[in-house]
């Protein structure tokens, strides 16, 4: 039995999955929502390099008068990603890392997605 095709297929699948994990899609991180749904507002300034949020939190981000809101309701594990992945195109002119902390209410419940 020739095992090389199986090994090659498995290696290809692993490469595809690891490449996909490098840049998570916005849907896996949460959802863009109307600004009125936000429970907190964060001002993004030229010197802002990071923000910290909690899983399940809905935050309105304001940058130079423009705004968007995001519901961090994606997978329930700690994560960090560039906020430009979920912001409307062109809204943020520099990298801002969003650090998503585990919500204490989620601890002890079902495992994350």
Q: What is the pLDDT of residues 48-89, one digit of tens each?
A: 999 999 999 999 999 999 999 999 998 777 889 999 999 999
Q: What is the CATH number of domain 27-106?
A: 2.60.40.2280
Nearest CA to 87 out of 64, 66, 56, 57 is that of 66
What DSSP state is assigned to residue 113?
Answer: -
Which residues, listed in sequence order, are joined to residue 27 by a DSSP beta bridge?
none
pTM: 0.71
């Amino acid at each position: 039995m020739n095992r090389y095709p199986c090994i090659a297929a498995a290696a290809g699948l692993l490469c595809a999955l690891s490449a996909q994990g490098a840049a998570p899609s916005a849907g896996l991180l949460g959802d863009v929502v109307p600004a009125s749904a936000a429970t907190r507002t964060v001002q993004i300034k030229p010197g802002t390099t990071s923000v910290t949020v909690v899983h399940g939190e809905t935050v309105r981000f304001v940058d130079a008068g423009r705004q968007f809101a995001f519901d961090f309701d994606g997978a329930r594990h700690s994560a960090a990603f560039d906020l430009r992945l979920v912001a409307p195109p062109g809204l943020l002119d520099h990298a801002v890392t969003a650090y998503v902390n585990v919500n204490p209410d989620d601890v002890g419940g079902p495992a994350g997605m």
